[in-house]
């Protein structure tokens, strides 16, 4: 079985696994809401009972002595345990998706390497290569699937879908789903893909740009400003 076939086989089972985890998350959430509702009612009743006892003189108004009942405290501890289970399930679901994305990155990296070797061999033998030229990298680069602050000075951003660019880096069309919550970048207002450059203006509204959209072929040396920030900077100098 080839790497791509193995990846496709693993990908087919992913929706079923995620569906089970999401169903369990929903059940835990319902249980948590019910326990929190009961605990809230219990605590409100106990607070009211304490107030009556203080007013009648049966309870000393000492904050070091007054406390909720063991039942109320147990409900709160149980709520925390359920919340921890929900977080653990969410992390597991994220890791499952992230693992599949990393596998796809490995395939794209291997595919790019094969294309590069094919072009080199074609140049040596004088036979035209079957794949188009391209010098931008595919996939998400080296970020490993976990994003951070956009302004981090790295040249490669996370991508879950190959968007249209001046040059198709692999020579093939990728039809990958895009997370509607994934942030967009650049003048093209697309998700991150390939190699990207960050504007050095800390107040830049866009921050990250695709190489092809700003006419770059390699990471610029020194400080780099997008056309918007560069124009604003020049106007300020002219005043």
Q: Which residues are annotated as a binding site for Zn(2+)?
A: 186, 188, 199, 204, 210, 213, 226, 229
* Of 87, 83, 78, the residue nearest 42 (C-alpha): 78
* Of 147, 181, 179, the residue nearest 161 (C-alpha): 179
Indicate the DSSP class of residue 138.
Answer: P
Is 164 strand, coil or helix? coil
What b/e readout covers 9-36, taking b as 16+ CB neighbours within 10 angstroms?
eeeeeeeeeeeeeeeeeeeeeeebeebb
In DSSP terms, 156 is beta-bridged to 195
In DSSP terms, 115 is beta-bridged to none
Backbone dihedral angles phi then psi of residue 210, each to the nearest 5 degrees: -75, 140
The token pair that represents 187 in the structure block: 């003048």
In angstroms, the CA 142 to CA 125 distance is 33
Q: Which residues are annotated as a binding site?
A: 186, 188, 199, 204, 210, 213, 226, 229
CA 147 to chain centre: 5
Indicate the DSSP class of residue 196.
Answer: E
* Of 185, 182, 163, the residue nearest 173 (C-alpha): 163
In angstroms, the CA 170 to CA 162 distance is 10
């Amino acid at each position: 079985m080839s790497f791509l076939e193995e990846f496709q086989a693993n990908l087919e089972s992913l929706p079923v696994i995620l569906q089970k985890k999401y169903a369990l998350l929903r059940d835990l959430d319902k249980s948590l809401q019910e326990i929190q509702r009961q605990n809230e009612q219990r605590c409100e009743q106990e607070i009211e009972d304490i107030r009556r006892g203080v007013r009648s003189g049966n309870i000393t108004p000492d904050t070091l002595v007054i406390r909720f009942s063991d039942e109320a405290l147990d409900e709160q501890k149980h709520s925390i345990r359920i919340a921890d289970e929900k977080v653990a399930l969410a992390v597991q679901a994220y890791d499952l998706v992230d693992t599949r994305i990393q596998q796809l990155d490995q395939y794209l990296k291997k595919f790019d390497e094969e294309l590069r070797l094919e072009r080199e061999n074609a140049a040596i033998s004088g036979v035209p290569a079957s794949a188009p030229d391209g010098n931008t990298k595919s996939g998400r680069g080296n970020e490993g699937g976990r994003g951070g602050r956009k302004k981090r000075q790295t040249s490669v951003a996370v991508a879950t879908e190959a968007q249209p660019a001046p040059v198709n880096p692999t020579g093939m069309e990728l039809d990958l789903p895009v997370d509607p919550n994934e942030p967009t970048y650049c003048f093209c207002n697309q998700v991150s893909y390939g190699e990207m450059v960050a504007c050095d203006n800390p107040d830049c509204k866009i921050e990250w740009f695709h190489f092809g959209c700003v006419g770059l072929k390699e990471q610029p040396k020194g400080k780099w400003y997008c056309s918007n920030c560069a124009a604003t900077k020049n106007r300020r100098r002219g005043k």
